[in-house]
Amino acid sequence: MPIDILMPALSPTMTEGKIARWLKAVGDNVKSGDVLAEIETDKATMEVEAVDEGKLDKILVPEGTEGVKVNTPIATLAGDGEAAKPAPKAEAKLEPAAKPAPAAAPAMPKAPAAPAAAEYSGPTTMMTVREALRDAMAEEMRRDEKVFLMGEEVAQYQGAYKISQGLLQEFGDRRVVDTPITEQGFAGLAVGAAFMGLRPIVEFMTFNFSMQAIDQVINSAAKTLYMSGGQMGCPIVFRGPNGAAARVAAQHSQCYASWYAHCPGLKVVSPYTAGDAKGLLKSAIRDPNPVIFLENEVLYGQSFEVPSGGDHVVPIGKARIARQGEHVTITAFSLMVKYALEAAEMLAAEGISAEVIDLRSLRPLDTETIVASVKKTNRFVSVEEGWPYAGIGSELLAVMMEQAFDYLDAPPVRITGLDVPMPYAANLEKLTLPSAVKIADAAKAVCYRA
């Protein structure tokens, strides 16, 4: 009985990949542990090893094919007479650093292009959030000799999530600095360098690890300007993926938006589109203050139109109306904007016109844009991935009470991640996170259309 070999998932967030090369040909005998093929994701090239034994019977997906979905059969093995195993599956072996991704553009999952920012009407290029972040850093490093990047795996490995791809080659190891795994140490070191007038970009491999460094971020970076009577500015960017990726459980799936937005002396931004990722990162690097730049791993591979004419800078502190509407205002940031836009589509089908605001900046918060929208729609839903207690939504609802109370036709509602440490099990994780359906339901409820 033939055994299917399936396209393996090589990382928690991988949904598809490219068959770069077959290392076995039809008719070859395959033993358990043999390398069958090389698969390219947007992050790396990995080898796929055989788990089952037999003769390679058919190659279903030829090499060079892009966008092969996880779990698609890619080849079949003719059984060698043994009973076929019930769940035949290829197993991935991670091969870090050995092979930098080849020059060929890796396959990217296609995301719906977000509407271009209203104020920009020039030429655009389609690019991923990952490329946009890299370009922002490269452009600012070319512009200012004082800008440098430091963090774990940012240089030789080309970035744990490949955000810094090519930067070592262009700027050298003086300005693209691999650090030991020592968050508190290198965050504090970068703060000292910023006090001296350099402009460090500190990459946290994920923001979960920034908790090791949070004393330096808040007590040293955020407060020193005030404590020095304005003498000691700290022009620094702390950036990296924030929030839940997929199936990495409680310690690696936390949203730090409200943690950092709580603190005077910091600016906190969290873009959704690639254009905003680029424009806001450039602003953050130029900003004379410490900026927390919250990215999202799930968005890295998604593509958007990005302004390509000239120096694309997005000011910190301005929200973006991602979709205009009349009946209800939905605010969101980062990946949640995608869900909010999907919810708005569902609502439109039911005759509810939702206005979706991409907050982009969490501190300072563009209350003017949000309040103006609520004065028009009279109904408000806040969406965030993080916990509800003392979250961004709590702040937004307080703003509603203080600045839009008389305009509200229904009590505002928060959609948040549930008030639990992130569970590992797929079904529980799904329940924990916001979804387009939950957002649409909340919007209907505030419109009394439930």
Partner 1 sequence: MAKTKKGERSGEGKTVPVGELLKYYRDMLLIRRFEERAGQLYGMGLIGGFCHLYIGQEAVVVGMQAAITGDDAVVTSYRDHGHMLACGMDPRGVMAELTGRIGGYSKGKGGSMHMFSREKNFFGGHGIVAAQVPIGTGIAFAHKYSGHKRVSLTYFGDGAVNQGQVYESFNMAALWKLPCIYVIENNKYAMGTSVERSAAGQALAERGAAYGIPGEQVDGMDVLAVKEAGERVVAAAKAGEGPAILEVMTYRYRGHSMSDPAKYRTKEEVDKMRTERDPINLVRDLLLAQGKSEDDLKKIDKEIRDIVADAADFAQTSPEPPESELYTDILVEA
Q: Known catalytic residues?
A: 183, 252
The 8-class DSSP code of residue 365 comes to B
User: In whole angstroms, how close is the CB of 211 to partner 1 at the nearest point?
Assistant: 14
- Token pair, residue 153, equals 């795996």
Closest CB to partner 1 among residues 193, 447 = 193
User: Would you give the binding string for partner 1 spanning residues 371-410, x where CB under 8 A is met?
Assistant: ----------------------------------------
Based on the shown chain and the rule CB under 8 A, indicate whether residue 156 belongs to the binding site for partner 1. Answer: no
Distance of CA 197 to the CA centre of its chain: 29
Whole-angstrom distance, CA of residue 75 vs CA of residue 6: 7
Q: Which of residues 131-150 bind partner 1 (CB under 8 A)?
A: 148
Local structure of 73: helix, strand or coil: strand
Based on the shown chain and the rule CB under 8 A, indicate whether residue 62 belongs to the binding site for partner 1. Answer: no
User: In whole angstroms, how close is the CB of 282 to partner 1 at the nearest point?
Assistant: 13
User: In whole angstroms, how close is the CB of 213 to partner 1 at the nearest point?
Assistant: 9
Half-sphere exposure of 321 toward its Cβ, with a 13 Å CA cutoff? 18
Q: Cβ atoms within 10 A of the Cβ of 238, count?
A: 29
User: In whole angstroms, how close is the CB of 208 to partner 1 at the nearest point?
Assistant: 18
Crossing angle of the two packed helices 367-377 and 392-403, in degrees rounded to 10: 60
- Residue 178, beta-bridge partner list: 151
The 8-class DSSP code of residue 122 comes to S
The 8-class DSSP code of residue 58 comes to E
Selected from 30, 59, 127, 191, the binder of partner 1 by CB under 8 A is 191
Based on the shown chain and the rule CB under 8 A, indicate whether residue 216 belongs to the binding site for partner 1. Answer: yes
Closest CB to partner 1 among residues 89, 286 = 286
Closest CB to partner 1 among residues 200, 434 = 200
Crossing angle of the two packed helices 436-446 and 335-349, in degrees rounded to 10: 60
Pairing of strands 291-295, 267-269: parallel
Local structure of 396: helix, strand or coil: helix
User: In whole angstroms, how close is the CB of 251 to partner 1 at the nearest point?
Assistant: 19
Q: Confirm if 321 and 368 have CB atoms less than 8 A apart.
A: no
Whole-angstrom distance, CA of residue 235 vs CA of residue 198: 7
Q: Tell me which stretch binds partner 1 (CB under 8 A): 92-100, 187-195, 302-310, 419-427.
A: 187-195
Q: Tell me which stretch binds partner 1 (CB under 8 A): 25-33, 186-194, 377-385, 442-450.
A: 186-194
Based on the shown chain and the rule CB under 8 A, indicate whether residue 226 belongs to the binding site for partner 1. Answer: yes
* Cα 437 to Cα 132, 347, 394, distances in angstroms: 30, 10, 21
Selected from 233, 342, 353, 445, the binder of partner 1 by CB under 8 A is 233
User: In whole angstroms, how close is the CB of 187 to partner 1 at the nearest point?
Assistant: 7
Based on the shown chain and the rule CB under 8 A, indicate whether residue 311 belongs to the binding site for partner 1. Answer: no
Pairing of strands 237-241, 199-203: parallel
Closest CB to partner 1 among residues 12, 185 = 185
User: In whole angstroms, how close is the CB of 366 to partner 1 at the nearest point?
Assistant: 16
Encode 352-386: b = buried (16+ Cβ within 10 Å), e = exposed.
bebbbbbbbbbbebbbebbbebbeebbbbbbbbbb
Whole-angstrom distance, CA of residue 292 vs CA of residue 263: 11
Q: Tell me which stretch binds partner 1 (CB under 8 A): 188-196, 345-353, 412-420, 434-442.
A: 188-196
Closest CB to partner 1 among residues 10, 202 = 202
Based on the shown chain and the rule CB under 8 A, indicate whether residue 182 belongs to the binding site for partner 1. Answer: yes
Based on the shown chain and the rule CB under 8 A, indicate whether residue 174 belongs to the binding site for partner 1. Answer: yes
Based on the shown chain and the rule CB under 8 A, indicate whether residue 190 belongs to the binding site for partner 1. Answer: yes
Residue partners of 192: CB distance under 8 A and separation at least 6: none
User: In whole angstroms, how close is the CB of 313 to partner 1 at the nearest point?
Assistant: 12
How many residues of this chain interact with partner 1, rule: CB under 8 A? 42
Based on the shown chain and the rule CB under 8 A, indicate whether residue 192 belongs to the binding site for partner 1. Answer: yes
What is the rounded end-to-end Cα distance, in angstroms, of the chain?
52
Find, among 336, 329, 333, the residue nearest to 413 by Cα. 329
Selected from 198, 372, 408, 418, the binder of partner 1 by CB under 8 A is 198
Based on the shown chain and the rule CB under 8 A, indicate whether residue 215 belongs to the binding site for partner 1. Answer: yes
Which parts of this chain interact with partner 1 (CB under 8 A)?
Answer: 148, 174, 179-180, 182, 184-198, 215-216, 219-220, 224-233, 235, 264-265, 267, 286-289
